[in-house]
Amino acid sequence: MTLPASWNATPSGLPRARGLGLPFAGTPGTSNAITDVAGVEVGYCTLISGEGPLVVGQGPVRTGVTAIFPRGQARANQPVWAGAHSLNGNGELTGAWWLEETGRCELAITITNTHSCGLARDASLQWAVRRRLNETGQDWGLPVAAETFDGHLNDINGFHVKAEHVWAALDDAHGGPIEEGSVGGGTGMICYGFKGGSGTSSRLVEAAGGRWTVGAFVQANFGRTAELVVAGVPVGEVLAANPEKYFETGGGGSIIVVIATDAPLLPHQCKRLARRATLGIGRSGTIGRHSSGDIFLAFTTANAAALQEDAVAPIAVTTLPEAEMNPLFEGAIQAIDEAILNALVANRTMVGRDGHRVPALPTAAVLELLKAAGRV
């Protein structure tokens, strides 16, 4: 079978996991990305500069911002129903209380480094005000901003992410194939001891007599090398036996997972879908360590009319029966597992502050281990 070009490589030509021949269950959408859910757009701003010893406020800089619009820039002021879940709460997801209260996710979702999360939230509001989105009936907002820690490679206390970088990521948002690896908020991230970052994937599923798309985006910054599992094979155990070759963190870090679907779900069903991200990240081996912030958000682009603030009469909505949620659960788990592998594969070795070196995943060695196990 000849795979679509967008399944094999990123727009810039970096390899993706399927392009290497790694096996995955399920059928992806056209771009094998969260943007396969109609209307979803993703943008990045990547900041890389400087080398050598850390000088706080000067660098080296290895960071950035990711922006995800559930309904695209053109409909940025139209909320979606959503739900969130925390596997381990050593992290931040702004707007979570309002989301829990009403099931509403408003404006863009931004993801950046830990010490720039509040700025990303504020800059999202500034972007909305500049676009006069507050003049359409609501003059306030509680946007979602999330974070993972990039301080091993980045001058995180230099606060290099500014409002204009958040705006650049928001303005860059588009549909179709998107970049992966060391881009946007994922620029300075480490995953299973290797260069991690931004990854995405999608699945087409059938439920309740319809065909739906489930897409996932991850900012992967978690796990220890010895834990890494690829296609059911514990490759990390072998890779960790060569510590002189590979970098090893304490295994903390974090992962943010954003799940999108066009299936008609109610907010509590979105929360149920978000919980399945726990199983998705578990497929790659993590145990959800104490210092890891593992936080997940799921939203649906359906039922837009039900979120009108000016409605005064009952509004009819459609929803999947609870028993028909299983295909979405399965699709989300599959997409998250593949998104994590894409974040690892679409990457190169990075050297950051104080000469800290984080190697790229040794894909040739991984493929050999999978071949030996009969998985490739």
Tens digit of pLDDT for each residue in 40-90?
Answer: 999 999 999 999 999 999 999 999 999 999 999 999 999 999 999 999 999
User: Cα–Cα distance between 257 and 338 in angstroms, integer?
Assistant: 12
- Exposed, middle or buried: residue 12 (CB in 10 Å: 0-12, 13-18, 19+)? exposed
Quote the mean pLDDT of the chain. Answer: 94
What is the pLDDT at residue 361?
96
Sign of CA pseudo-dihedral 342, 325, 147, 149: negative
User: Cα–Cα distance between 211 and 221 in angstroms, integer?
Assistant: 32
| Residue-range domains of the chain with CATH | 24-357 (3.60.70.12)
pLDDT over threshold 90, residue 35: yes
| Residue type at position 104 | R
User: Cα–Cα distance between 224 and 194 in angstroms, integer?
Assistant: 9
Least confidently predicted of 173-187, 247-261, 322-336: 247-261
Which member of 124, 182, 284, 292 is catalytic? 292
pLDDT over threshold 90, residue 135: no
Reply yes or no on whether 294 is catalytic: yes
What is the pLDDT at residue 250?
60
What is the pLDDT at residue 335?
98
Which member of 150, 172, 262, 294 is catalytic? 294
Q: Give the confidence band of 247 by pLDDT, cuts at 50, 70, 90.
A: low
Percent with pLDDT over 70 in the chain: 96
Average pLDDT over residues 91-120: 96
What is the pLDDT at residue 359?
95
Q: Give the confidence band of 111 by pLDDT, cuts at 50, 70, 90.
A: very high
pLDDT over threshold 70, residue 186: yes
pLDDT over threshold 70, residue 268: yes
The alpha-carbon radius of gyration of the chain (Å, integer) is 20
Q: Give the confidence band of 103 by pLDDT, cuts at 50, 70, 90.
A: very high
Average pLDDT over residues 241-259: 76
What is the pLDDT at residue 253?
84
Least confidently predicted of 106-115, 264-273, 301-310: 301-310
Sign of CA pseudo-dihedral 56, 198, 88, 272: positive
Residue 186 tokens read as 């994922």
pLDDT over threshold 80, residue 244: no
Residue 40 CA to chain centroid, in angstroms? Answer: 13
Is the backbone peptide bond immediately before 60 cis, with ω within 30 degrees of 0? yes
| Residue type at position 55 | V
| Residue burial 224-244, b: 16+ Cβ < 10 Å; e: rest | bbbbbbbbebbbbebbbeeee
Percent with pLDDT over 90 in the chain: 89
Tens digit of pLDDT for each residue in 286-299?
Answer: 999 998 999 999 99
Q: Which helix (H) or strand (E) holds 44?
A: strand 41-49
User: Cα–Cα distance between 176 and 162 in angstroms, integer?
Assistant: 27
Which member of 254, 262, 284, 337 is catalytic? 254
What is the pLDDT at residue 120?
98
Average pLDDT over residues 101-113: 96
The DSSP call for residue 351 is E
What is the pLDDT at residue 3?
76
CB 199 within 8 A of CB 340: yes
CB 294 within 8 A of CB 288: yes
Reply yes or no on whether 254 is catalytic: yes
pLDDT over threshold 70, residue 19: yes
